[in-house]
Amino acid sequence: MNQSIDITNMPKHIGVIMDGNGRWAQRRSMIRTLGHRHAMKAVKTAISYCSQIGIKVLTMYAFSTENWKRPVDEVDTLMNLIVEFLLKETPEMKKNNVVLHFIGDLSRLPEKSKRAIEYSVAEMKDNSGLKVNIALNYGGRADIVSATKEICKCVQMGELSVEDINETLFSGYLYTAADPDPDLIIRSGGETRLSNFLTWQSAYSELYFTDVLWPDFGEKEFDDAILYFQGRDRRYGGIK
């Protein structure tokens, strides 16, 4: 870890938008899907490094509700890579005390993906270290709509009254109900938008954008993002 990092001021929850895989491959005259394959190494590094430096929650945007619009072979490759990753890396993640959790609507995923997810989550259920949320078929707006529907059902059943609804209660119905909001959101690949990632939860997140493409994103890049975070003055709408 970079010696300038203040270990008493670490982000508790980091969100990552892993962009730039296609361009990484194209720059090497490779097909785009090979970029996703190389991305998996960076996913592995992100999990082991965040675990090592004491981050509590890491949320990774693996597949958005909009990514279904990509060519079928790219969608298939991504789904297969995720299954391959889970089957191969579960023992190591388990050993590293990682807790695995998925956020998003998993009902639309291929059976093979659902089985791999079930296996990996069950393997790590007794762990207590870094919590890794994998956002799969996730959209920030869909997250808000699904929370709203759940709350409406509770009101209809008489379990909740409209007066009970406030920000804290609402947060408890989101996919990330158990987690603190992300302190830091990192996006690789040069774009400067959130692309429907943690829309509600990112209200006060520090945002870090870098041109580094995701397959090249390693420990040094995490350190740079954390140093950026530590240089920010977080006021949450107040004044110092």
Tokens of 34: 């090979």
> Which among 19-27, 109-117, 118-126, 148-156 is the span making contact with ligand FPP, rule CB under 6 A?
19-27
Nearest to 132 by CA among 212, 45, 65, 199: 45
Per-residue contact track with ligand FPP, 183 to 222, x per CB under 6 A? ------x---------------------------------
Q: Annotated catalytic, 19?
A: yes
Q: Which of 58, 65, 85, 147 binds ligand FPP (CB under 6 A)?
A: 85
Contact call for residue 15 and ligand FPP (CB under 6 A): no
Binding of ligand FPP by 174 (CB under 6 A): no
Residue 64 in contact with residue 197, Cβ under 8 Å? yes
Interaction pattern, residues 89-128, with ligand FPP; x per rule: CB under 6 A: ----------------------------------------
Residues in contact with 115: Cβ distance below 8 Å, sequence separation at least 6, in sequence order? none
Q: Of these, 10, 14, 15, 21, which contacts ligand FPP (CB under 6 A)?
A: 21
Q: Which of 6, 9, 21, 67 is catalytic?
A: 67
d(CA 6, CA 223): 11
Out of 62, 147, 185, 225, the only residue in the binding site for ligand FPP (CB under 6 A) is: 62
25 neighbors 37 (Cβ within 8 angstroms): no
Q: How far is CA 212 from CA 16, 39, 191, in A?
A: 13, 12, 10
Q: How far is CA 38 from CA 1, 17, 94, 105, in A?
A: 23, 16, 22, 26
Residues that bind ligand FPP (CB under 6 A): 18-23, 36, 39, 43, 60, 62, 67, 78, 82, 85, 134, 189
Residue positions annotated with a catalytic role: 19, 67
